[in-house]
């Protein structure tokens, strides 16, 4: 499919400073939402000025970069702010598997806020009328009528974990991440805005996102690119929050001292270091992970900070990073093959990169975790766990259930 079939040429882009718009997610005028928000800052979008579909393949990030550049090279851009997220922006969601199709969407309207500065961007074909900020359709809470198993039942998934442990102990690989799915059913088509608002309120430190029906709140920043500066946050190793402060402290200590979880984390941190070092003049990754505490879980976390050696866009850096051992395993190709064999499902965009990029190549991309695919009156939820030699299938099943809860809360309230 060529660009002319996906998007109109000669877009007109106009960014204007505005007064503080308040809650960004509450300003979304229709159920189909585009969003990337953390601690109340970020960008939201609606409408569709252009859609770029990227076929699967090892060069998909490069292809996405080139095709977006082709589109924006012909655009007339009036952007007096010149800050990350102003001017034309493409929201994107890439399939987890390199063979999967991916999508970039340039919205017709964008509302943003960063560091006390707010803006509105309209993006239209030349001669068209820009979108307005009016609330066209008030959001309606979803009415969930029931839940059903996804591809595998809980006992079947636990058996898949046991098989994975057997492969690991036999020396075939060091780690694999196995995911499972779960379905929610509603009486009416699910409006993305209500669950997005619930996620942003309950998990303000996560990146609440929405792209083409994929919604969620991920704690994992895959890459932030601002000029030549890059940041990432490696998460691997998880435990549920405690039932009281004493239990919480004990769980935190156990996680920090867990050989199994530290091994799982080391695989992910080492891969990010190996992938980013050739791209950077300097790169800082701590020797030991720290604790990231969310409302429902705790993770082992390693923040990453560096400076790019040459001009590379956020999509260029994604090409070097995805998939990390935090969502796939190691060695990568062996883990991918085992995932395809044992999960018996198509992950779609779960655990793939999700986020945005602008005309300057700046952007923020996370990993699509704690998420759901919305299709009409059905939501497909996902949760995954890192499996290593010491993994226990029963414990992994409990961890996966804990990871389903944010989206279950978002849908049921």
Radius of gyration of the CA atoms of the chain, in A: 21
The pLDDT score that the predictor gives to residue 314 is 95
Is position 220 annotated as part of the catalytic site? yes
The one catalytic residue in 220, 343, 396, 399 is 220
pLDDT reported for residue 297: 86
Instruction: Name the residue ranges covered by the structural domains of the chain.
Output: 3-412
For the stretch 200-205, contacts whose Cβ atoms lie closer than 8 Å and that sit 24 or more positions apart, written own/partner, are 200/25, 200/37, 200/40, 202/295, 202/406, 202/409, 202/410, 203/294, 203/295, 203/370, 203/406, 204/38, 204/39, 204/40, 205/38, 205/39, 205/294
**175 among known catalytic residues:** yes
SS (H, E, C) the chain: CCHHHHCCCCEEEEEEEECCCCCCHHHCCCCCCEEEEECCEEEEEECCCEEEEECCCCCHHHHHHHHHHHHHHCCEEECCCCCCCCCCEEEEECCCCCCCCEEEEECCEEEEEECCEEEEEEEEECCCCCCCCCCCCCCCCCCEEEEEECCCCHHHHHHHHHHHHHHHHCCCCCEEEEEEEEEEEECCCCCCHHHHHHHHHHCCCCEEEEECCEEEEECCEEEEEECCEEEEEEEEEEEECCCCHHHHHHHHHHHHHCHHHHHHHHHHHHHHHHHHHHHEEEEECCCCCEEEECCCEEEEEEEEEEEECCCCCHHHHHHHHCCCCCCCEECHHHHHHHHHHHHCCCCCCCCCEEEEEECCCCEEEEECCCEEEEECCEEEEEEEEEECCCCCHHHHHHHHHHHHHHHHHHHHC
pLDDT digits (tens, 9 = 90+) for 151-204: 999 999 999 999 999 999 999 999 999 999 999 999 999 999 999 999 999 999
pLDDT at 210: 98
pTM: 0.91
Q: What would you measure as the largest C-alpha separation in the chain, in angstroms?
A: 64
Mean pLDDT of the chain: 92
For the segment(s) 3-412, the CATH number from 1.10.230.10, 3.40.50.720, 3.60.120.10, 3.40.190.10 is: 3.60.120.10
pLDDT in tens, 246-275: 999 999 999 999 998 898 888 889 989 999
Point out the catalytic residue in the list 175, 264, 343, 396.
175
pLDDT digit string (tens) for the chain, length 413 residues: 333 345 556 899 999 999 999 999 999 998 889 999 999 999 999 999 999 999 999 899 999 999 999 999 999 999 999 999 999 999 999 999 999 999 999 999 999 999 999 999 999 987 666 666 665 677 889 999 999 999 999 999 999 999 999 999 999 999 999 999 999 999 999 999 999 999 999 999 999 999 999 999 999 899 999 999 999 999 888 888 898 999 999 999 999 999 988 988 888 899 899 999 999 999 999 999 999 988 888 999 999 999 999 889 999 999 999 998 889 999 999 999 999 999 999 999 999 999 999 999 999 999 999 999 999 999 999 999 999 999 999 999 999 999 999 999 999 98
């Amino acid at each position: 499919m060529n660009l002319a079939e996906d998007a109109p040429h000669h877009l007109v882009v106009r960014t204007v400073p505005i007064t503080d718009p308040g809650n960004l997610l509450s300003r979304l005028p229709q159920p189909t939402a585009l969003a990337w928000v953390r601690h109340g800052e970020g960008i939201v979008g609606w409408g569709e000025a252009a859609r770029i579909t990227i076929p699967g393949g090892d060069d998909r990030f490069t292809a996405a970069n080139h095709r977006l550049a082709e589109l924006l090279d012909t655009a007339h851009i009036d952007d007096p702010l010149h800050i990350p997220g102003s001017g034309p922006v493409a929201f994107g969601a890439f399939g987890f598997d390199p063979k999967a199709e991916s999508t970039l969407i340039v919205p017709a309207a964008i509302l943003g806020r960063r560091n006390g500065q707010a803006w509105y961007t309209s993006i239209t074909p030349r001669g068209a009328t820009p979108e307005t900020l009016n609330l066209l359709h008030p959001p309606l809470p979803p009415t969930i009528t029931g839940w059903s198993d996804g591809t595998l039942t809980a006992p079947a998934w636990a058996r898949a974990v046991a098989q994975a442990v057997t492969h690991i102990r036999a020396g075939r690989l060091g780690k694999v991440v196995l995911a499972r799915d779960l379905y929610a059913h509603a009486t009416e088509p699910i409006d993305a805005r209500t669950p997005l608002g619930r996620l942003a309120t309950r998990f303000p430190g996560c990146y609440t996102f929405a792209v083409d029906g994929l919604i969620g709140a991920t704690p994992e920043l895959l890459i932030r690119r601002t000029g030549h500066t890059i940041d990432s946050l490696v998460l691997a190793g998880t435990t549920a929050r405690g039932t009281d402060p004493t239990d919480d402290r004990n769980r935190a200590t156990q996680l920090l001292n867990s050989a199994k979880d530290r091994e799982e984390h080391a695989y992910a941190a080492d891969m990010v270091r190996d992938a980013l070092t050739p791209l950077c003049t300097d790169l800082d990754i701590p020797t030991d992970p720290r604790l990231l505490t969310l409302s429902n879980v705790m993770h082992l976390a390693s923040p990453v900070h560096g400076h790019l050696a040459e001009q590379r866009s956020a999509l260029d850096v994604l090409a070097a990073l995805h998939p990390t051992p935090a969502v796939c395993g190691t060695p990568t190709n062996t883990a991918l093959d085992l995932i395809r064999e044992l999960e018996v499902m198509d992950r779609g965009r779960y655990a793939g990169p999700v986020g945005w990029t602008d005309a300057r190549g700046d952007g923020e991309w996370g990993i699509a975790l704690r998420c759901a695919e919305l299709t009409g009156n059905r939501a497909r939820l996902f949760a995954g766990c890192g499996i290593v030699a010491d993994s226990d299938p029963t414990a992994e099943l409990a961890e996966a259930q804990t990871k389903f809860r944010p989206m279950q809360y978002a849908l049921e309230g």
